[in-house]
């Protein structure tokens, strides 16, 4: 069974998901990597009240509320009419965002974080508290995933951050992923690590 999810995603849809479930994502979400996460936290979260770039803040609140963040530095091309298209859109390693992601999930009410390699205990805790999931995209399938990106709706901070680090707001259809950290405190990445340690102990002693 494949769970069809359309942004914005609601709490009951998240709690229905468990580690190992396949999902298909539809609707509008945004890419964000290291620079974008740092910007979100330092500009909008670790402050008494956002005082700068308020228009962008409101845009991002709307996109991220019930929405998704994709850890991706896409390869893009510009069309003749000035619009953009994704040429390749493979996931990047997520653990680098562990220092930021829990705060971003809580502040913006993010429901799905997509990437590769999993995340740590703080993000898992935020998933439980906020009803969110971590989804593993298909590594090595950058062109396939790009086919699921039907439209680049907007791009923010491209000139300042560069193409890979910008916020690319995209509309997706049938974006494939697997739940590897759920809202029930389960992480397949923890299971893999525990099994690896068990195997290593067996080999050593």
Calculate ∠ Cα 183-70-86, nearest 5°.
150
Single out the residue of 27, 13, 96 nearest to residue 63, CA to CA: 27
Cis peptide before 61 (omega within 30 of 0): no
3, 37, 71, 189: which is the annotated catalytic residue? Answer: 37
C-alpha triplet 6, 18, 32: angle, nearest 5°: 50
Identify whether 189 is a catalytic site residue. no
Nearest partner of 170 among 50, 22, 28, judged by Cα: 28
Beta-carbon count within 10 A of 129 CB: 12
Q: Are 127 and 183 in contact (CB under 8 A)?
A: yes
Instruction: Give the tokens for residue 31.
Output: 């890419």
Residue 34, sorted as left (phi over 0), alpha (psi -120 to 50) or beta, turns out to be alpha
Q: Provide the token pair at 131.
A: 């009803």
Residue closest to 136 by CA, chosen among 172, 179, 88, 193: 179
Q: Which residues are catalytic?
A: 37
């Amino acid at each position: 069974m494949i769970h069809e999810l359309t942004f914005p995603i609601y709490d009951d849809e998240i709690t229905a998901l468990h580690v190992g479930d396949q999902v298909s994502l539809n609707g509008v979400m945004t890419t964000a990597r290291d620079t974008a996460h740092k910007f979100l936290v330092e500009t909008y979260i670790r402050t008494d009240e956002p005082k700068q770039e308020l228009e962008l803040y409101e845009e991002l609140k709307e996109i991220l509320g019930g929405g998704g963040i994709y850890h991706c530095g896409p390869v893009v091309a510009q069309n003749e009419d000035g619009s953009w298209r994704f040429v390749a859109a493979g996931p990047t390693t997520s653990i680098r965002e562990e220092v930021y992601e829990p705060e971003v999930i809580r502040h913006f009410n993010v429901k799905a974080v997509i990437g590769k390699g999993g995340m740590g205990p703080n993000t898992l805790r935020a998933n439980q508290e906020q009803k969110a999931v971590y989804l593993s995209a298909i590594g090595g399938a950058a062109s396939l995933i790009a086919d699921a990106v039907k439209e680049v709706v907007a791009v923010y901070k491209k000139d300042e951050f560069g193409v890979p680090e910008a916020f690319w707001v995209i509309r997706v259809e049938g974006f494939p992923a697997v739940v590897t950290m759920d809202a029930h405190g389960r992480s397949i990445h923890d299971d893999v690590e525990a099994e690896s340690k068990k195997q290593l102990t067996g080999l050593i002693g």
